[in-house]
Chains A and B, each alone.
Chain A
Amino acid sequence: MGAPQACECSYGLETRPCCGSSFCAGYLEVPTALKADDINLQQQANNRLAWRLALVALLFTGFGFAMVPLYDVICRVTGLNGKTNAVAEAVDANTQIDATRWVKVEFLSHTLPGSGLEFSPEQFSMQVHPGEVIHTTYVVKNRTQHTFVGQAVPSVTPAVAAPYFQKIECFCFSQQTLAAGEKRAMPVVFVVKPDMDREVGVVTLSYTFYEVPA
């Protein structure tokens, strides 16, 4: 590695191209300034490496964008981030109910201030058995004078409980259109899977109702 080097053997008035070759034994090797060809070679070598490094930078830009799906994949595979299922799924009705154990399920509701929406769960808290299919309702009322189009985003805490909180029917992410003054009851059907860690005593389901921009 290093710059291609030209040099000359200088002995009296005689000069020959050499550099470490047997021609120069006994002669004085003198490095000369790079000739045009050598400069050209140098520039070509520099440009080649520079383009390769630019490619590396480009690949890492791709990596930055790839972090988006990667993030979801890693969250799903590791169960971190506590993402509960966004799409309702049916569950085996024959799941054993674990009557030896109670789990407290709490319900939260959020709207953005100034949205003009009243949004609350029918029940704020209940005791359930793991394996038991539970029905409950959230009520939303549009107190404004205009139509409200929105969707609700769910979240479950603690994160370790999220994979075990199975929603069979919910209103997650589906767009809801509420006329001015309209009130609607939205059902949530869920089951707490019996194989959830016994140390988890409370699970909280939270919905945030966002307005979807027109």
Chain B
Amino acid sequence: MAHDLAHELPLAGAHDAYHPSGVMRWIQTTNHKDIGIMYLIFAVTLLLIGGAMILAVRAELFQPGLQFMQPEFFNQLITLHGLIMVFGFAMPAATGLANYMLPLVLGAPDMALPRLNNWGFWILPPAAVMLVLPFFLGIFGIGPGAVDTGWTMYAPLSVQSGWGMDFAIFAVHMLGVSSILGSINVIVTIFNMRAPGMTLMKMPLFAHGFLVTAILLITIMPVLAGGVTMVLMDRHFGTHFFTAVGGGDPVLWQHIFWFMGHPEVYVLLLPICGVVPHVLTAFSRKNVYGYKAQVYAMWGIGVLAVIVWAHHMFTSGMSVGGQLYFMYSTMLISLPLAVLFFCWIATLWRGSLSFETPMLFAVGFIILFGWGGLTGLVLADAAADPQYHNGYFLVAHFHYALYPTTVMGAMAGVYYWLPKWTGHMLDETLGKVHFWIVMVGFNLTFIPQFLVGLSGMPRRIPDYPLMFAEWNMLSSIGAFILGVSHLLFIYNVIKCIKGGPKAEAKAWEGAQGLEWTVPSPAPYHTFETQPTIE
């Protein structure tokens, strides 16, 4: 039998009279495990594309001067890196985890709306093509290249850019619709499909994380859709939402974008806040600490997330009163976040700890994300922010917030549940090597960026003064090391799919949850009869 992935993964059940195989199976599937796998493969593919783009950037920044590219090309790379990582990697990866694991942790047979699930996924590949097509066309001299405004797409540049911007607008629309459909599915599944006896306050934290995330998404993604539609109208239909010539205001775009953009980063965080407690309890062999506190903290973060957006706009001409409000409210978010940190550490405290790969990534997430949060407080200080706004301190801050979360946290979840998905235990040595390469590469990339940021280096620039040279060189070396680590991750996962020590139903000694009551690998259909929870 050929060893392609379609055969290694749980086979489409033979119970149906007509069941396609091959490509049509994947196009037509409404099975949450299949769809989860597709989301994850899509996410990893875009992780590599977005990563390749930023490695090109770091190659250019390796030394002062312009060695490989012109600023116009550079701007496309950094813009696509941001859009791809946020909308093409992080959100689909989270959705993939949700799709595969929510029904399993809730004891449900599938997601609430399986066909909607299929549509939600298949919007993504065309959207990704729309986003990057102008980039590749531009390389061959066709057209002005991809969107080049930065992922924040500020006006008036967004209104003046070439048609790469129009492609990006349509891509953002499609990515947003996919996100909204997926979120509707998650919410309905959580409210309607829990196993009997599983009240909302008995369901695993994984589900709570995704519930808050999904509710945030259906409120914010439509606002972004409205905003990019306004950009499209300004570009082609003679409106003046964001252009001063007609009485519009570029700052209006900033408000609309960041009203979405800030809750968005908590959308990226909260699923991992749901994953990490599962991993910690398994490898501490203890019950989770502070279940209710963590639930309330997640809700507190979700509510606060929506009212702090203008801390991204301290230098846009805001009054002192406005700056004070947004500074105080932003700093307030550190309180529920501190509650979460406390509960995670308390879960570990006096536990019977073992540091298998998932645990390493979870603990690494806690430490590095902690740095991200603390450096966020520096930026939230409205008096200090003008010095750091749009500089490399900010870039390092949000990478410390986002990479340990969306990449390492997701990898913790993937490594944790891989035995359930594949039926094999992963190669622990390779997993540990992966982790330590990430720790070295990630910190080597971004600690120098804190330093050049404090010294005044702006972001989104292809060339810089000589005083920043040494730190940039180190950062670029770190970036390539980090880049290589992702290849090792993919190798690990494929190796685990193909074979390895047989995994038990309860693959990890301390693992808790309904998903560990089904066999490994999980059958194509699980919990067709829902268990009753006391």
For chain A, the bracket of interface size reads 35 or more
Partner of A60 from B184, B223, B244, B247 at Cβ < 8 Å: B223
Q: Residue A90 at the B interface, CB < 8 A?
A: no
Min CB–CB distance B354 → chain A (angstroms): 35
User: Which of B68-76, B185-193, B449-457 binds A?
Assistant: B185-193
The reply to whether B222 and A61 form a contact with Cβ atoms under 8 Å apart is yes
In contact, B195 and A2 (Cβ under 8 angstroms)? yes
CA distance A34 to B530 in the complex (A): 9
B319 touches A60 (CB 8 A): no
User: Is B226 in the interface zone, CB < 8 Å from A?
Assistant: yes
Selected from A31, A68, A86, A173, the residue in CB contact (under 8 A) with B241 is A68
Instruction: Kindly specify which of A47-55, A163-171, A178-186 makes contact with the partner chain.
Output: A47-55
> By DSSP majority rule, is chain A's interface helix, strand, loop, or mixed?
helix
Hey, which chain A residues are within 8 Å of B180, CB to CB?
54, 57
Closest to B214 in A: A53
| Chain A hits for B200, CB < 8 A | 1
Given A80-B319, A86-B247, residue A1 in contact with residue B184 (CB < 8 A)? no
A196 within 8 A of B: no
Mark interface residues in A33-65 (1 if CB within 8 Å of B CB, else 0): 110000000100111011001101111111111
- The verdict on B198 contacting chain A, using a C-beta distance below 8 Å, is yes
Closest residue to A61 on the B side, CB-wise? B222
A67 and B247 form a contact (CB under 8 A): no
Question: Are A64 and B222 also in contact (CB < 8 A) when A3-B192, A49-B187 are?
Answer: yes
Interface residues of B in 304-354 (CB under 8 A from A): 317-319, 322
Task: Tell yes or no: B528 within 8 A of A by CB.
Answer: yes
Known: A31-B532, A71-B252. Is A54-B244 also a contact (CB below 8 A)? no
Contact B245 A212, beta carbon cutoff 8 Å: yes
B218 within 8 A of A: yes
| Cβ B223 vs Cβ A64 within 8 A | yes
- Residue with the greatest number of chain A CB neighbours at <10 A, chosen from B245, B317, B531: B245
The 8 Å CB contact of B218, one of A42, A60, A78, is: A60
Among A50, A80, A160, which residue has the most Cβ atoms of chain B within 10 A? Answer: A50
Answer yes or no: A15 CB below 8 A from chain B CBs: no
A148 to chain B, nearest CB (A): 14
Q: Contact between A1 and B191 (Cβ–Cβ < 8 Å)?
A: yes
Q: A32-B529, A64-B227, A159-B317 are in contact. Are A53 and B188 (CB under 8 A)?
A: yes
Instruction: Output the least CB separation between A33 and chain B (Å).
Output: 5
- How far is A3 from B528 in the complex, measured between Cα atoms in Å? 12
Query: Which residues of the other chain, A, contact B500 by a CB distance below 8 angstroms?
Result: none
> Would A151 and B108 count as touching, CB distance under 8 A?
no
Asked if residues B528 and A33 are in contact (CB atoms below 8 Å), the reply is yes
- Does B219 sit within 8 A of A, measured CB to CB? yes
Q: Is B20 interfacial (CB 8 A cutoff)?
A: no
Kindly state whether residue A81 has any CB partner on chain B within 8 Å: yes
CB distance from B305 to the nearest CB of A (A): 15
Instruction: Please name all residues of chain A whose beta carbon is closer than 8 Å to the beta carbon of B459 when the two chains form the complex.
Output: none
Any chain A CB within 8 A of the CB of B249? Answer: yes
- Given the known inter-chain contacts A71-B252, A160-B319, please indicate yes or no for A153 contacting B247, CB distance below 8 A: yes
Write out, one digit per residue, whether chain B residues 178-208 have a CB within 8 A of any chain A CB (1) or not (0): 0010011101100111111111100000000
B132 within 8 A of A: no
Residues in B with CB closer than 8 Å to A159 are: 317, 319
In the bound complex, how far is the Cα of B183 from the Cα of A173, in angstroms? Answer: 44
Chain B residues 217 to 266 lying within 8 A of chain A, measured CB to CB, are: 218-227, 230, 241, 244-245, 247, 249, 251-252, 255-256, 259
B395 within 8 A of A: no
Number of B residues with CB within 8 Å of any CB on chain A: 50
Q: Is B116 an interface residue (CB 8 A)?
A: yes
A179 to B245, CA, bound (A): 20
- Contact pick for B226, options A5, A61, A78, CB 8 Å: A61
Cα of A56 to Cα of B194 in the assembled complex, Å: 23
Beyond A57-B184, A210-B244, whether A46 also contacts B113 by CB under 8 A is yes
Q: Any chain A CB within 8 A of the CB of B112?
A: yes
CA–CA, A47 to B114, complex, Å? Answer: 11
A65 touches B226 (CB 8 A): yes
Nearest B residue (CB) for A54: B184
Given contacts A3-B193, A31-B532, A65-B226, is CB(A49)–CB(B318) below 8 Å? no
B230 — which chain A residues lie within 8 A by C-beta? 65, 68
Contact A46 B532 (CB under 8 A): no
A208: Cβ under 8 A from any B Cβ: yes
Distance (whole angstroms) from the CB of B177 to the closest CB of chain A: 9
Residues B155-173 near A (CB distance < 8 A): none
Q: Among the listed B192, B219, B226, B255, which residue makes an inter-chain contact with A56, where contact means beta carbons less than 8 Å apart?
A: B219
Chain B residues within an 8 Å CB radius of A49: 112, 187-188, 191-192
Is residue A82 within 8 Å, beta carbon to beta carbon, of the partner chain? yes
**B residues less than 8 Å from A58 (CB atoms):** 222
Does A210 contact B245, Cβ atoms closer than 8 Å?
Answer: yes
From A45, A54, A81, give the contact of B251 (CB < 8 A).
A81
Contact between chains at A80 and B318 (CB < 8 Å): yes
Contact B219 A60 (CB under 8 A): yes
Quote the shortest CB–CB distance from A41 to chain B (angstroms): 10
A59 to B255, CA, bound (A): 18
- 6 closest cross-chain pairs (CB), A and B: A64-B226, A64-B223, A210-B245, A61-B222, A60-B222, A46-B112
19 interchain pairs, CB-CB under 8 A: A2-B198, A3-B192, A3-B194, A31-B530, A42-B193, A46-B113, A49-B187, A50-B116, A50-B184, A53-B183, A54-B180, A62-B226, A64-B226, A67-B252, A67-B255, A67-B259, A151-B245, A173-B247, A210-B245
Apart from A2-B194, A32-B529, A46-B193, 20 more pairs, CB < 8 Å: A1-B194, A1-B200, A3-B194, A3-B196, A31-B530, A42-B193, A49-B192, A53-B188, A53-B218, A58-B222, A64-B223, A64-B224, A64-B225, A80-B319, A81-B249, A81-B251, A159-B317, A210-B244, A210-B245, A212-B245
